[in-house]
Amino acid sequence: MLFQVEMEVRLPHDMAPSAADELKRVERERAQQLMRDGKWRHLWRVVGHYSNTSIFDVTSHDELHAILTSLPLFPFMTMKVTPLCRHPSSIREDDT
Ligand SMILES: O=C(O)CC1=CCC(=O)O1
């Protein structure tokens, strides 16, 4: 099952830079492991925003929920989740 997830990051202004850097480091490690596992298919920065748009490939809503809520930055992100299905006009083989 494919989902588009839009994530907007808002770190507290009074968070120590070292704490913010550590959070971003562990978030990156977790995201890259999920990419190697084939769960996090695409990760794009939204130009001009501290946000991303991502594509996840998971087996259930529960799995996606578990992944998203386990992200180190989860407490500091708002998310919009959109379920996707194949467009009938798509010629891409990997759009399933
Ligand atoms: O910076 C972001 O958009 C939040 C984020 C998701 C994965 C990652 O490494 O950073």
Distances from the Cα of 81 to the Cαs of 17, 22, 84, 90, in angstroms?
29, 26, 10, 22
The residue whose CB lies within 8 Å of the most ligand 1 atoms, and thus the one to mutate among 73, 74, 78, 80, is: 73
The domain defined by 2-69 carries CATH number 3.30.70.1060: yes
Q: Measured from the CA of 77, which atom of ligand 1 is nearest?
A: 4
Query: Which residue ranges make up each domain of the chain?
Result: 2-69
* pLDDT, tens digit, 9 for 90 and up, residues 41-65: 999 999 999 999 999 999 999 999 9
User: pLDDT grade, residue 92 (50/70/90)?
Assistant: confident
Is this prediction's pTM over 0.90?
A: yes
Ligand 1 site residues (CB inside 6 A) read 7, 9, 27-28, 31, 43, 52, 73
Query: Does the model's ipTM exceed the 0.95 cut?
Result: yes
